[in-house]
Each structure stands twice: as C-alpha cells, then as structure tokens.
A and B are shown apart, each in its own frame.
Chain A
Amino acid sequence: MRLGIAVDSRMCMACYCCFTACKDEHCGFASKLTAAQPMMGQKWIDVREWERGDDSRKIKTATVPTLCAHCADPACAKAAKNGAVYKRDDGIVIIDPVKSKGQRAIVDACPIDAVYWNEELEIPQKCTMCAELLDDPEYLAYLGDPKLKTPRCVESCPNQALIFGDLDDPNSEISKLVARERQTQLEPLAGQETNVKWLNVPTVYLAGTVYHPAELEEVFIGAKVRVEVDGQTFETETNYFGDWEIEWLPKNKDAKITIEAKGYKPVSYTAKTDRDHYVDRTFLSK
C-alpha cells in the first residue's frame, strides 16, 4: 500500500477549504505523530497561486495546493540525523517531533519549502497526510465505512482537486486519475518519485488576437496560427473572438509565431517562453 494524494491544479479554484481544514486539525493540537502547528506562520498545505500573463487582454492564474510530497526518497530524511525523519510502510513521511529537535537542516533540505521551522519548539514540522487520524480506528467510525475516511484537506475539497487513495492499487480512484491526467511534477522535484502527484500544473502559454484591418472594426475568425518552439510545431486557429492561445509550451525556449490568413500578408513574431505572454493584437493587411 502506498498512500498518496493527487493534486489536480486544473480543478483547484483556490477556495482555501483545504488550507482551513488543515489549520483546523493541526493548529494548537498535537498528536502522536507531530507537535501542534503554531497558530500562525505555517501552511502545511499552501495554495500557491501565481498570475499568468503580462497584459489585461489575457490573464489567468495557476493554483497549486502544495504540501509535503511524501517523496519516495525524501531529501529531508537524508538531511536528518538519528532517524528524525522516517517513512512509514504506507509511504507517509513523518518528522519525529522529539528526535528532530534543533535540526533546521530538515527544513532547508525540502526542495519545495513544505517543511516549516517552529521557532518556539525548535523543530521542523509539516503535513502528516493526517496519518494520526488514518491510524485511529475510532476516528469517523460512526460513518460505518472506513473508505469514507480521508485526510482533512481531501475531505474538505469541493472541487475534486484533491483525491486520496492507494497508488499501488491500479483500480483506485487516484491511480485512474493519475493515469488519465497530465502528470506535472513540480519543477524542484523533477525526476523524483513522490506520493503526492501534481496534475495539470501549467507551463507557459502564448496568446493573441487577430483582427481585420483596423478601420473595419472586426475580429478575424479562422486565421491560422503556428508556433514553433524547440523543434516542435503547435498549430491553432483564431476563435469567434479572433483569439488564439497555445498552452503547455515547453519553458524557456525561443518561439516563432506565424499568423496567416488567405488573402492577407502573413505576420510573424518572436517570443521567449520564459513566461506566459500575450503576443499582440494583430491587425492583418492585404
């Protein structure tokens, strides 16, 4: 059994239910596995949100709930002395609140800043995947079905953006979701196996709008847009708003954009895919 959480960034609306439920469970309350989370300052699940775009014509946000990845080979465990960080049989990574005292290196080792330092107790702290609740046979026993028991963040998510289950079971909901959706490991964890699976975290888009010659005051529907990046070609057409957009571009590359429409002069641009970019309002001419 390998317990994991799938985080589907596309579904996350940054409603902060997971954040609040996690704080509700851990702030001010210690458990067998962890000391209490301080009332303020730590976010064991942190809804990291960034703006995508450089123009009010096209702007989106990425919303990525970020918690301990419960890595297969945790960097924090390697940095820890005397076994202060351990991995349970179910894959959940736990920091021992006693053994870890004074070990700030455990915080520093985390590639995604998901481990927090408790100044007062001088210990590192992080998400336990609510293992203390999963372990407790009494907890939620009244529901009559152990399957209804999930980590607090998952339980509170209304958007199906957090899915909990056994990654070793190919028929589990989480396994099916991970198999179906675009797996997008967080960049600092690139190449690492983790039990938290981030899905659909965006890379970079390029977008623009195509118009007929300005004096006509008309958008241009159906213009062909081609983006060449890093030897790959992406193609699309302008929609009913004259808009075009290409998502999931490889990052930090040079891009060449060509816009063509029959009977009009082609227009081309260059851009860098280091950030989401609205290329232009393109006015075609004959």
Chain B
Amino acid sequence: MAEKITHSVCVGGPIAIHTEDGVIRRVRPIIFDNNDPKGWVIKARGKEFTPNRKAQPAFIALTEKNRAYSYDRIRYPMIREDFVETPDGQNRNAENRGKSGYRRASWDEVLDLIAREIKRLQAKYGKETITACTGSHHSWGLVGYKLSAFARFFRMLGYTEIKDNPDSWEGFTWGAPHTYGYYWRLGGTEAFDLLEDALQNVETMIMWSHDPDTTRGGYAGNESTMWRHWLDDLGVQFIYIDPYNNFSSVKQADKWFGPRPGTDAALCEGIAHVWLTEGSYDKEYIAKHAHRFDEWADYILGNGVDKTPKTPLWAERETGIPAADIKALARRWATTKTMGGSGLRGGFGGVCRTANGTEFARLMVQLFAMQGMGKPGQNIWVATTGAPMDYNFWFGGYSDPLSQIANQPIADVTAVNSVTQKLYRPNVPDAILDGHYEWYGEGFCGGGIDLEFTENIYPKPGYNKVHMFWRYGGCFMGTMLDTNKWVKMYKSPELEFVINQDIHFHGEARFADVILPACTNLERYDIGELCNSGNGGYQSHSQTGNSWQVVVFQDKAIEPLWDSRSDYWIFNAVAERLGWGADFNEGRTEIDWCKRMWEKSDLCERISWEDFTKKGYYIAPVPENWERHPGFRWFAEGYPCDTPNHKAFQEEGKLGTFTGKFEFVSESLLYYAPNDEARTPIASYKHSWEGHHSIKAKKYPFHLITPHPRFDYHTQHNSSTPWFWEIPENRVYIKGNPYLIARIHPTKAAEKGIKDGDLMLLFNERGSVLCVARVTYRVEENTIHAYGSSGIYNPVKPGETSMDIGGCVNILSPGKLMGSMVPGMAPNSTLLDVCKYEGEIPEGQYFEYKLDKVAKEADPDAETCVEIIEGHGFEKIQAKVKLAYAGKAAK
C-alpha cells in the first residue's frame, strides 16, 4: 500500500494529505520537522514565548477529505430538466428555477451550449450583458481562486463586474477612515509587532464584538489561540462586550457585558462622558493629535445641538448596562494599559454590521485616541495579528495584483475588462428585478476616501442590462441580505441564462440552468501562503495573524472525482470554445502558473522549485533580532511612519485624514457628504432604522444578531460535513435535516413557552426560518443569536420564498443598506419574533433527490446522499476510485 503525502492550504489553514492508492486516507495539520526553522521568541515579563512547532489549522481544514467525497458534490455537468435553448432567450421556464430537477450532460454539451449563449447574448446586447460573481474563499490558491483564473477569464471576455461590499467589517470601511484615515486598509489599523508590545505591556484587553476563537483571525486557523492563553496567564484582564457571550468570552472573559444590539455606540459615548468629566484621558496626546476635539466634547457633555449629556445613566437606558458598571469599565480602561477594539481581522463580531456601524467604528477609534493610541500597551489590537514576521520576504497574497494570473508579471499580458458598467453585490436582485439601481461607492474603496462617494447607476447610460449570470463558488442565500430577493431574481425571465460553477450543490446552484462541477483544492495544482491576503492589499501582511509564515505547494493529491474539473480547466475550455484559448493560457499549464508564482517572488531565492515541490511547503524564518515596527508607534512618538504598509503622507508623520490628525469632527464628511444622515460629521449614536425604537419593534420585539459562524467558513464546510451536525452547539440532526441552533434567553423563552431543544420558528415580514432553540443565559434578553452564513438552504417549497429549515437566517435580514450614502450591509439590525413550532417537519433535505437522480442516471450503482451521510456511501466511493486507480496503474 503506497502512501503518498502531499500538502495544501485552505481557509482553515495548511494541511498534510495522506493518500493511499488514489484515495484520500487522512488530512492532518503540518507538523514541523527538525529541518524546519526555529520559531520566534518573545521575551516579556520574565518569560519567553514561542509558538508550537506545527501549523495550527482550524477544524474546518481537517474536513477537506469530507469535502472531497461529500454527499453534495456536484458530480457531473448538469442542465435544468425544463431548460429550453430558445433562440430569443425567452420562454425558458425561468419561473421553475429552484424547483426543477436536472439531467446529466457531457462536458462537450455544456461547453458548446455556453459558447453559443455567450455569442448570442453578446451579439444581441453587447459585452455588458454578461455578469459574474464569486463567493469568498470556497477554495484557496493563487492560480485557481477568484482573483486569478476567474478574473483572467471574465476580464478577457468583458463583463459587468459585480463589486463586493466589505461585508465582514462594513462600519470600519465606511466610518473609520473619516476619523483616522487607513482607507487603504479599509478602515482597519496596522497591527505590526503588537503581539510583543501586548505581552510586554498590556493590562486590559477590551474585546468588543470580538470572538477570536470563532473568526480565527480571518484565514489564520488557530494560529493565534495560544497568544491569548499567554496573555491570560500573565494576568491580563479580558473584557468582552457582545450581546452574545461568545465562545471566546465564555471561556476566557474576566467580565462580559451584553449590550442591547445596535446600542454599542451609546456605550462608547457613555465611556467618553466619564473620561471627559473625570479628566481621565491623555490630554497632551489629544492636544497634539486631535482635530476639533472640543466641539465633540461639547456634544458628549450635553452642549451640542441635542443638549443631551451622554452620561452613563443615559447610556444605561439605551444599552441595558448599569451606569455603575459603565463607570467601572471606563475607569479600568483609563487607568490601565489597554488594547482592544473590534471590526477588522478577527473581530467580525457584528457591531460594525449594524445600522449604526459607521458611528460605532468611528467612536471606537476616538476612544483609543483619547488614551494615547500607539504608546506601548495602548492600541487597537485584538490578539489576532501582529506576530513577528520577516517583512522582507515577499510572496504574493490573493489580493496582490502582482500574484494574479490575470496580470503581469505572472502573465505576459494583463487581462483588462472592456466593460465599465458595474453592479453592487448586495443589490444585484434589486437591479435585475427593478431594472434600475443607483448607489454610492466602489466596493472596496481602498484606493482613496473619495471612492466612497462615486456615483453609480445601473444600467449605466448607453449600456444594456445584464441577461446572463455566471455564479462561481459559495452561496449568497446564507451571506447576503433579505435573501428571498435572490429567489425572486433567479425566477425572473430577465435572466435568460444562469450558470453556476461550484464544487458542492449549494442552495444557489439549484437555481442555475447549467451547473458546472468544479473540483476541490485537493484534486488540482495550486500554490498559496497561509493567511496571505496580499502584502500590497487591503489587509497588508495579514500573515502576522499566524505564528508561522508558511508557503505551500498545493499538490494534486487525487485525480478530479467523477466528471469534476479544476476551475482553471473550465475557464480555459470555454475560452478555447470562444476562440481565444491560447491568449487565456499563454501556453501554460496549471503547474506552470504555480511555478511563475515561485519565480516572480522571493521564494525562488530561498528554495529551489524541486525542493519546494518535494517538501510541499516552505517556512520563512523570522530573524532572531527581527526589526520591530510597532503599529502606530510612529504617530504617537512623532516620527515618520516606518511600518511596512506606509503611504507617502505617513512619511511626514501624518494620518490619512484631511488634516492628518484624528478628526473628532470629520472634515472629509463635511466636504463630501455634509447632509449624510447616517454618518454625521460628529460621530454619534443614532437610533437604528430597525431597532428597539422602531415602530416595527411592537410587532417583532426580538433583535437578531447573526455573526460570522463558528462551525463553518462562510457557507463552505457545514453543508458538506455531517460530522459537524453532531456538535450540540451547532446543529441538531432530526429526520435527515440538520437544524441550526438559535439562542434565546431563559426569561423570554419561558414567556414564549419554549424549552431547550424545541423547534423554534424565527420570523418577520421577510420570511421564516426553522431552528432548534438553545435556552441560555449567554444572550442578552432582547436578543436572538443564530450564526449567519448558513451553507445549508432548504426551503420547504423549493424555488419559492417559503419557510427554510436549513438555518439560512439571512433570509430575515433587511435588504436596506446602512444609509442612503453608506453602502454597507447591516444584517445585525434585524427585528423578528419567535414562536414554538409545532407544525409538520419533512423527511430529509429537499434537494437530495435531484442529485440522486442524476447520479443514478450516470451509474445505477451510485451512492445516494443519505447513504453518504449516514451509511457506507463514503466507503463505496473510495472503493470504486481505488479500483479505477488500480486499473489505471495496471495499464
């Protein structure tokens, strides 16, 4: 039995893959051997800290075998049963999308159909008629992922680009730059070398809307969990603020505050009031670095237009947190060295995704400024970034233009999109259904603060509307807003042709006319670095969220299963059908593209291509006396910026605001948007447009918070890994369907007659979702907590806007953006009601029969979904693949 060991890296971290006879046997974390470099050592308070000698992926990474052999794999190209290729694009039974089943097709059939449709639509409406959109992070790697193969194909084709919204940290993007710049980091701060600073100096950690053990520093897996244990062991006090006593908090918090959802900005103002009245802030720092501080202070103290002092008692009335506790919190913060914050890089807890998210983010920055941000032990830093790293080792991340196959220098010729019309992701259904949409902003506005105010209109004057949608990876039913709108959109004949290219038969794939089976990362070649989102990108040097800097050769562990193919293969095949295959591939294979990444980066100086691909990974050592560039220290101490991600004006010691200072009255907002009702020049707590002061609260009294999931990554792992359905805090498997846990406070549960483990219906005017109740003191009384990004979408009437039993709570979230000029989404400003559910529940999941039918058509002995979930389907698949492998070897 030949055991082969290859490596890969995914959103959960790096892994070693054992294969035997062509099938995956196991997936393990990479354990470093004695030839790998030493880890960094941080000396602090008489102790030495060094990381575990292994990569520390999250549990989701250890499911990659299951994701490959998963019951919901799309095994074959499929065409909707009642799809008719009419010459005019009409009468294609679009209204049956989501309802109809599929038939198996050959690759030739679907590729020819796609090529014909592209040519037909482009001839009729122009290039802008095609639009396409990726999910985030359903795979990893610089060749096969969205900003590479996808971008190269669609830019060469010409298409109406769908701009992403910064959905994980909205308030920080749209708010914080108006207070302290950092628009090039989308509102997040710089955390360079702050782990050492914290270990040496910090006394209090304010973990505000932050659940690091759940959001895992973005893509850093469990690389930072030990850091928080170290801080805890040093006696650092952890204060968690979140309407849900989250999983990090409940194990590690010294104190938990659960404010009423959406009132965090009021809590910020209450804290500021204590500091201003007691004089307990860094007056010297503020005098030097703050702009129009006194006007803001007047507002907090009750001398502003609203004549309301923001006293702790005022804040108590909004937040539900006793005034005495608010004062104690403010004093602890002011009298000890405090780090903390919320929002970016692992702080995706949700406050910044509420109606008031921009104001919270701005006030958060202002509070840290008031305590001398950048001085030792005083910073925005939440223990998920800032490890030592060799900044002088350059390997590209996925958002680096320099490491995308769409661009030079990786490609010989850069692919450029010839269409300038755009759509905005949260509102794609509005644009399609209404035929008109207008909005501000350019998606990720990292290129300049002015980009936030770009005026966009769809259709763009002189352009046609889109009539073809190519979805690639992931499922927006679980991540976007008011997602029943997506159901309505897919059923619209406005979309003449819908393609879905994915690995798994996710909720959105079931609306497509043509489904293309992509393979997993383990079935193709790629190259990538752990948690590197781009050194020149928006979260520059995000690898400092790791204990180790690991570049991985993502070797092909097994051949693509069934008829699946790599995303690159699929795009290349369509390009060939359209006559520009050679321009697309430039004569390179996937592994050639991987080698380009090695050749055009510092990796080629460190390790030969042969050694790298043989070993499978390279760890960039941190020099023993690495150069320190603590984030924000330059500003606090008044020297030109020396951190690796600096901008020209920072070299003069300034921030990226108009004045170069912390703007307590924002000059950029006064200039660009003086009448913006959501983001006022003075950041202030405002009643949510969907909150406890709303009229609607009389009918829907509960506030849903739906943070990034603990038991998933976006929509990628939960649906494919039935083992996770056995985790009591995640789901409960009843009659073949995994019901999501939703949490409710015991007092309210008693009022509603709901007991722990009961089926509980969450509902409002937008829809209803059936969950299982977890009755717990861990939620604030007015809050229902259910994790967002459900990968499972199971409407009881497929293709209709009906009750969902998959736990897709984003169906309930408002479609409204944060403000008329603030294009962020606010899923945590959702009001709803709950009741005990006593109706019927169905057997199984509604889509399974569709996959089973196609699988049986292809192979009467095929394993059904239920057999793979509960029975021996998994073993049968492996046995068949092993047999085929042996046959091939014999030949």
Contacts and interface: CB of A to CB of B under 8 A. Distances in A.
Nearest to B216: A15
B481 to A, nearest CB: 29
A148 B229 contact: no
A70 interface: no
Contacts of A142: 5
B226 A218 contact: no
Contacts of A269: none
A141 B100 CA distance: 52
Interface in A239-256: 240-243
A59 B312 contact: no
Contacts of A159: 222, 225-226, 229
A24 interface: yes
Interface in B228-262: 229, 245, 247-248, 250-252, 255-256, 258
Contacts of B225: 13, 15, 158-159
A51 B777 CA distance: 9
A246 B566 CA distance: 57
Nearest to A240: B332
B878 A155 contact: no
A15 B871 CA distance: 26
Nearest to A17: B59
Contact of A20 (B245, B324, B723, B874): B723
A218 B634 CA distance: 38
A135 interface: no
A21 interface: yes
A43 interface: yes
A145 B332 CA distance: 49
Interface stretch (B24-32, B283-291, B355-363, B622-630): B24-32
A192 interface: no
A211 interface: yes
Contacts of B874: 27-28, 39
Given A13-B251, A36-B875, A143-B33, A217 B312 contact: yes
B331 interface: yes
Given A13-B225, A15-B222, A24 B875 contact: no
A73 to B, nearest CB: 31
A59 B777 contact: yes
B722 interface: yes
Given A60-B251, A158-B56, A24 B226 contact: no
Nearest to B868: A39
Given A158-B56, A158-B225, A241-B255, A61 B250 contact: yes
A219 B727 contact: no
Interface in B598-656: none
Interface string B866-879: 00111110110010
Nearest to A43: B726
A19 to B, nearest CB: 7
Nearest to A214: B324
A41 to B, nearest CB: 8
Interface in B46-84: 52, 54, 56-59, 62-63, 65-66
Contact of A241 (B63, B325, B727, B733): B325
Contact of B248 (A13, A16, A59, A243): A13
A152 B727 contact: no
A27 B722 CA distance: 12
B3 A138 contact: yes
A220 to B, nearest CB: 9
Contact of A61 (B226, B251, B723): B251
B62 A20 contact: yes
A143 B324 contact: no
Contacts of B508: none
Given A158-B56, A241-B325, A24 B26 contact: yes
B313 interface: yes
B328 A16 contact: no
B3 A56 contact: no
B723 A14 contact: no
Nearest to A48: B728
B197 interface: no
A138 B27 CA distance: 17
B878 A56 contact: no
Contact of B65 (A14, A24, A243): A24
Interface residues of B, number: 73
B869 A40 contact: yes
Contact of A160 (B52, B66, B724): B52
Contacts of B332: 240-241
A67 B755 CA distance: 29
A138 B54 CA distance: 20
A242 B327 CA distance: 11
A187 B722 CA distance: 31
B323 A217 contact: yes
A231 interface: no
A143 B33 CA distance: 6
A100 interface: no
A156 interface: yes
Interface string B207-232: 00000010000000111011001000
A16 B225 CA distance: 13
A143 B777 CA distance: 47
Nearest to A139: B3
B781 interface: yes
Interface in B294-342: 312-313, 322-325, 327-329, 331-332
B85 interface: no
Interface in A141-194: 142-145, 148, 152, 155-156, 158-160
Nearest to B332: A240
Nearest to A54: B777
B34 interface: yes
B668 to A, nearest CB: 38
A201 to B, nearest CB: 13
B776 interface: yes
Interface in A3-51: 11, 13-17, 19-21, 23-25, 27-29, 36, 39-41, 43, 47, 49, 51
Contacts of A219: 324-325, 327-328
Contact of A152 (B28, B66, B778): B28
Contacts of B725: 40
A91 to B, nearest CB: 24
A135 to B, nearest CB: 15
Contacts of B711: 16
Interface centre among B28, B725, B871 (most CB of A within 10 A): B28
A40 B870 contact: yes
A15 B62 CA distance: 12
Contacts of A145: 33-34
Given A13-B251, A143-B33, A217-B324, A21 B58 contact: no
Given A148-B33, A156-B28, A240 B331 contact: yes
Contacts of B779: 56
Interface string B764-794: 0000000000001111110000000000000
Nearest to A209: B325
B185 interface: no
A159 B251 CA distance: 13
B28 A20 contact: no
A212 B255 CA distance: 19
A21 B57 CA distance: 11
Given A61-B250, A140-B31, 6 more contacts: A17-B62, A39-B869, A56-B745, A156-B62, A240-B332, A242-B328
29 contacts: A14-B251, A14-B729, A16-B724, A17-B57, A17-B222, A24-B62, A39-B868, A39-B872, A39-B874, A40-B722, A40-B723, A40-B725, A40-B869, A47-B727, A49-B728, A53-B777, A143-B31, A145-B33, A152-B28, A155-B31, A159-B229, A160-B226, A216-B324, A217-B323, A218-B324, A219-B327, A240-B332, A241-B325, A243-B255
Interface of A: 11, 13-17, 19-21, 23-25, 27-29, 36, 39-41, 43, 47, 49, 51, 53-56, 59-61, 63, 138, 140, 142-145, 148, 152, 155-156, 158-160, 211-212, 216-219, 240-243
The 3 closest A-B pairs by CB, nearest first: A158-B222, A158-B56, A20-B59
